[in-house]
Amino acid sequence: MAPRKKRCLHFAALLCAALTVSAQIAAVSGISAHAAAPAAQAAASPDLSPSAVYAAMIALKTQYPEGTPYTNDNYYAWKGGIFSGGYGCAGFAFMLSDAAFGNLPARQLDTFDQVRPGDILRINNNTHFVIILEVTDTGVVVAEGNYGGQVHWGRTFTNEQVFGSLTDYMLTRYPEQTDFLTGDPDNSGDIAVEDAQITLQAYTDYLAKKGYGLSDAEFKAADVDADNTITIEDVQYILSYYTENTLGKKNLSWSKIING
């Protein structure tokens, strides 16, 4: 194996070359480096990106502005399962949830290590539901019904509260993660520069004592040499795989990429 300094310099050169070639391909073809999802697949499930989930929920603010009366007299029938519907705070959270997730099934999590827009938190000793609008570095922004008998947008909770005693459990409608392709932590279905960038960010976050910031499935995909840690070598392996196979039109195995 080459010395770390040499490998890092090699990675920088590869990254620069790959980004340049990728940009040229996109400019010529008019498409992104990632293949577009099939139209049928896109139509079958909603867009679950944070911005799309947020937009679907916040669109209801025009119909239910701040201070709109919303009490336990208000009922909403939910498409998520688990509960057939809910009154008051539950019904309001379920309504926003359906706007974002359509008919996707919900599941209850009693322990969790991340939260995302659209997740529903049961809080305050199992007495109140809120739905997450946004996730920030320090906590979450929520919307809720029956907050003093009204709709309220924009209350914030810290990470310590969300992952501490405030939350009794969480309802999520994001599909359960299965194993991703090796080298594909963004689960796009192909190995690309973006996967190397995600892995590099995880590595630098770890060095900065922030943790990797990845789910179990993302971590496993990024840890291409399967040594239970993410290092600069994993970044280089992913970029080499992309450069050799996608851009170079070769068919090298991960074993060949890793072991040479």
Q: Are residues 80 and 118 in the same domain?
A: yes
Whether residue 46 is predicted with pLDDT greater than 50 in this model: the reply is yes
Terminal Cα-to-Cα distance of the chain (whole angstroms): 9
Domain that holds residue 212: 177-249
Beta-carbon contacts of 202 under 8 Å, excluding residues fewer than 6 positions away, are 185, 212, 213, 214, 218, 219, 222, 230
Confidence label for 1 from pLDDT (cuts 50, 70 and 90):
very low
Whether residue 50 is predicted with pLDDT greater than 50 in this model: the reply is yes
Q: Are residues 151 and 201 in the same domain?
A: no
Q: Are residues 157 and 67 in the same domain?
A: yes
Q: Are residues 181 and 151 in the same domain?
A: no
- In a domain, residue 163? The reply is yes
Listed residues 172, 197, 221: the one ending a domain: 172
Helix axis angle, 193-207 to 232-241, nearest 10°? 180
Confidence label for 22 from pLDDT (cuts 50, 70 and 90):
very low
Whether residue 70 is predicted with pLDDT greater than 90 in this model: the reply is yes
Q: Are residues 162 and 216 in the same domain?
A: no
What is the per-residue pLDDT for 58?
97
pLDDT digits (tens, 9 = 90+) for 220-252: 899 999 998 999 999 999 999 999 888 887 778
- Mean of pLDDT values over 170-175: 92
- In a domain, residue 34? The reply is no
Q: What is the largest CA-CA distance in the chain?
A: 69
Extract the tokens encoding 213: 């910031």
Q: Are residues 75 and 125 in the same domain?
A: yes
Confidence label for 199 from pLDDT (cuts 50, 70 and 90):
very high
Listed residues 142, 172, 202: the one ending a domain: 172
Q: How many domains, the chain?
A: 2
**Of the ranges 23-27, 68-72, 94-98, which one carries the lowest mean pLDDT score?**
23-27
What is the per-residue pLDDT for 21?
42
Extract the tokens encoding 92: 């309001």
